[in-house]
Amino acid sequence: MNTVVQKFTADGITVVGGIPSMTSSPEEIADFAARADVLTVNLGTLDAERRRVILRAVEVVNAAGKPWILDPVHCDYSPSRLAFAQELIALGPTIVRGNAAEMALIGSTGPGLRIQTGEVDRIGSGGEGVRVANGHRWMAEVTGTGCLTGGVIAAFMAVEPDALVAAASALAVTGVAAELAAPLSRGPGSFGVAFLDALSAIGERELLTHARIHYDQD
C-alpha cells in the first residue's frame, strides 16, 4: 500500500468486515502474505525496497493459489512504473483495477479481470462485462477513493471466489455508500467521513433500492 492513504484505505476495509495490514517490511512480508486471504498490490509510492517486497508477496500468494489485486496507481506518469506494472501483470493478478488514464496504458490484463473505474465502473473487457453506475462526483475529489475501492474489492475477494461477483458487489456497495453520504455532507472533506459512516452502515435494503449494475453480453 502507498504511504498517502493508508488510514483511509484501512478504514474502508475494516468497516466492511476485513482486517487490513499495510505491511511492507522485507522481514515480515512473507509471513503476512502467507496468513492473508487476499493481497492488494498498490504502486502509489513505489521505491526499490517496495518493488522487492511486492515481488516476494506475489510469490507467496501465487504459490498458495490465493487471489491478488493490482492497483497501478499513476503508472501513466512514469515509464518505469508502467513497466513494473506490466511485469506484475505477467505474474497473473486476479484483478487489475485502475482509473481511465491508467487502464488506457495498461492495455491487456491477460487472464486477470480488468476493472476501469470512473463515473461508471467497467468490469471486464470486450463485449462481455458488467457496468456499475453508482457513485458520486465527490469520490473524485477525495484522495484515495480508488485505493479504498481496491481494498474493499480485495475484502470481498476474501469471501467470494468469483472475482467478477466480488468486484461488482464491492463497487456497488462503495458507490451506493457514496450516494447516501453525499446529501449528508458539505463538501469533499465531510464527504470522506460520511462515506466511511455510510459504508459501515449499508445493508441489503439500501443495496436493493440503489444498486445500478448492468450486465452486457455480445
Ligand X SMILES: Nc1ncnc2c1ncn2[C@@H]1O[C@H](COP(=O)(O)OP(=O)(O)O)[C@@H](O)[C@H]1O
Ligand Y SMILES: Cc1ncsc1CCOP(=O)(O)O
- Our CB check for Mg ion shows the closer of 146 and 175 to be 146
The binder of 4, among Mg ion, ligand X, ligand Y, none, by C-beta within 5 to 8 A per type, is ligand Y
Q: Which three cell numbers stand for residue 66?
A: 490465493
CB of 63 to Mg ion, least distance (A): 28
Say how many CA atoms lie within 13 Å of 28 toward its Cβ: 7
Q: Residue 56: name the closest of 73, 39, 74 by CA.
A: 39
One-character DSSP codes across the chain: --SSSHHHHHHHHHHTT--------TTTHHHHHHH-SSEEEE-TT--HHHHHHHHHHHHHHHHHT--EEEE-TTGGG-HHHHHHHHHHHTT--SEEEE-HHHHHHH---TTSEEEE-SSSEEESSTT-EEEE----GGGGGSTTHHHHHHHHHHHHHTT-S-HHHHHHHHHHHHHHHHHHHGGG-SSHHHHHHHHHHHHHH--HHHHHHH--EEEE--
Q: How far is the CB of 165 from Mg ion (least distance, A)?
A: 23
For ligand X, which stretch binds (CB under 6 A), given 16-24, 50-58, 144-152, 184-192? Answer: 144-152
Which of 20, 44, 135, 151 lies at the binding interface for ligand Y (CB under 6 A)? Answer: 44
- In this complex, which beta carbon is closest to ligand Y, that of residue 60 or of residue 175? 175
Angstrom distance (rounded) from CA 23 to CA 32: 7
* Interface with ligand X: number of residues (CB under 6 A): 16
Closest distance of CB 136 from ligand Y, Å:
14
Residue 18 contact among ligand Y, ligand X, Mg ion, none, beta carbon within 5 to 8 Å by kind: none
Q: Which of these segments, 33-41, 60-68, 83-91, 167-175, binds ligand X (CB under 6 A)? A: 167-175
Q: Tell me the window of 103-111, 120-128, 145-153, 202-210 that interacts with Mg ion (CB under 5 A).
A: 145-153
Q: Least Å distance between CB 73 and ligand X?
A: 6
* Contact between 135 and ligand Y per CB under 6 A: no
Residue 174 interacting with ligand Y (CB under 6 A): no
Told to check if 143 binds ligand Y by CB under 6 A, we report yes
Question: Where on the chain is the footprint of Mg ion (CB under 5 A)?
Answer: 73, 146
Question: Where on the chain is the footprint of ligand Y (CB under 6 A)?
Answer: 2, 4-5, 44-45, 73, 143-147
